[in-house]
C-alpha cells in the first residue's frame, strides 16, 4: 500500500507508513512507561517492535501499539501471532 495521497489539484503528500506509525506510538508509549515506572526498557521494546514486519501489524495501528505495550508490561502474558512474525 502506498503512503502517497493525491489532494485536489493533483498535489501529492507523503504520509507515514503503517510501520512508521506503529513505531512512533511505541516510542511515545515506551518512553512514558519508562518515566512512569522508573525503568529503562524503552530501547529493548523499540528494538523488538522494530522486528515486526509492517504487513503483520493490524490495521488499527494505535490499538496494535497499545496491545503490544500492554504485552510488554505484564509477565506471563502470551503474545498475539502478529507479534511473533519477523522481518
Q: Residue 5 domain-assigned?
A: no
Residue-wise pLDDT for 48-71, tens only, equals 999 999 999 999 999 999 999 999
The total domain count for the chain is 1
Whether the CB-CB separation of 44 and 75 falls below 8 Å is answered with no
User: Do the bridges between strand 12-14 and strand 4-6 make them parallel or antiparallel, or are there none, so unpaired?
Assistant: antiparallel
pLDDT mean by block of 10 residues, the chain; 87 residues: 60 81 96 92 94 93 93 80 78
Considering the entire predicted model, what is its pTM? 0.78
Q: Residue 37 domain-assigned?
A: yes
> How far is C-alpha 13 from the geometric centre of its chain's CA atoms?
22
Which residues on neighbouring strands pair with residue 12, listed in sequence order?
6
Domain that holds residue 71: 17-84
Q: Residue 60 domain-assigned?
A: yes
Amino acid at each position: 500500500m502506498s503512503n502517497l495521497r493525491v489532494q485536489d489539484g493533483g498535489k501529492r503528500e507523503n504520509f507515514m507508513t503503517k510501520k512508521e506509525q506503529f513505531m512512533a506510538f511505541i516510542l511515545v508509549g515506551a518512553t512514558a512507561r519508562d518515566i512512569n515506572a522508573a525503568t529503562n526498557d524503552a530501547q529493548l521494546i523499540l528494538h523488538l517492535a522494530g522486528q515486526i514486519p509492517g504487513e503483520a501489524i493490524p490495521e488499527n495501528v494505535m490499538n496494535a501499539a497499545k496491545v503490544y505495550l500492554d504485552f510488554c508490561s505484564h509477565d506471563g502474558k502470551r503474545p498475539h501471532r502478529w507479534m511473533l512474525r519477523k522481518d
